[in-house]
């Protein structure tokens, strides 16, 4: 990823990590069921499916043959990364800090862990570890 993109994605991940703490100061129990909340939730669900295009293009030969001449792999990876970070943010906005049930808490936690593990796995924190003494 380019330096500017890495900074933007890093900032979005920081927002993603800090955003759930907002439930300490704000709760909107009616927002998830409203029109705006529903549209944001649907957008989040669609964005959660977009990263599968990159995975399918990389792992399934038929899909790879279709996408390889049309879209550059680096472009698919960028779409994969941005959708993978924006979808959980929209999901948290949709939830409106309403964590009443154990199911809601666990799904939100899994969504956050998945997004953060993708960021870390791609090398989001790789550079600081390289500069550590003894490496």
As a three-state string, the secondary structure of 87-130 is: HHHHHHHHHCCCCCCHHHHHHHHHHHHHHHHHHHHCCCCHHHHH
Mean pLDDT computed over 9-14: 86
Instruction: Determine contact, residues 50/83, Cβ cutoff 8 Å.
Output: yes
Given a cut of 70, whether residue 126 has pLDDT beyond it is no
The Cα–Cα gap between 58 and 52 comes to 10
Burial class of residue 97, CB neighbours in 10 A (0-12, 13-18, 19+):
buried
Instruction: State pTM to two decimals.
Output: 0.76
For 12, phi and psi rounded to 5 degrees?
-65, -35
Give the residue among 106, 107, 93, 101 at the shortest CA–CA distance from 34. Answer: 93
pLDDT, tens only, 114-124: 888 888 877 65
Look over the chain and give the mean of its residue pLDDT values, rounded to a whole number: 82
pLDDT, tens only, 18-53: 887 777 777 777 887 888 888 999 999 999 999 999
Of the given ranges (10-19, 38-47, 91-100), which has the lowest mean pLDDT?
Answer: 91-100
């Amino acid at each position: 990823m380019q330096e500017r993109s890495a900074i933007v994605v890093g900032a979005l991940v920081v927002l993603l990590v800090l955003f759930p703490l907002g439930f300490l100061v704000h709760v909107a129990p009616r927002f998830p069921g409203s029109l705006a909340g529903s549209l944001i939730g649907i957008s989040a669900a669609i964005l959660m499916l977009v990263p599968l295009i990159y995975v399918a293009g990389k792992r399934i030969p038929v899909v790879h043959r279709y996408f390889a001449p049309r879209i550059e792999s680096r472009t698919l990876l960028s779409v994969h990364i941005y959708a993978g970070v924006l979808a959980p943010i929209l999901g948290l906005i949709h939830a409106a800090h309403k964590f009443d049930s154990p199911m809601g808490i666990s799904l939100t936690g899994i969504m956050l862990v998945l997004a953060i593990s993708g960021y870390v796995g791609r090398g989001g924190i790789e550079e600081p570890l390289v500069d550590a003494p003894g490496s």
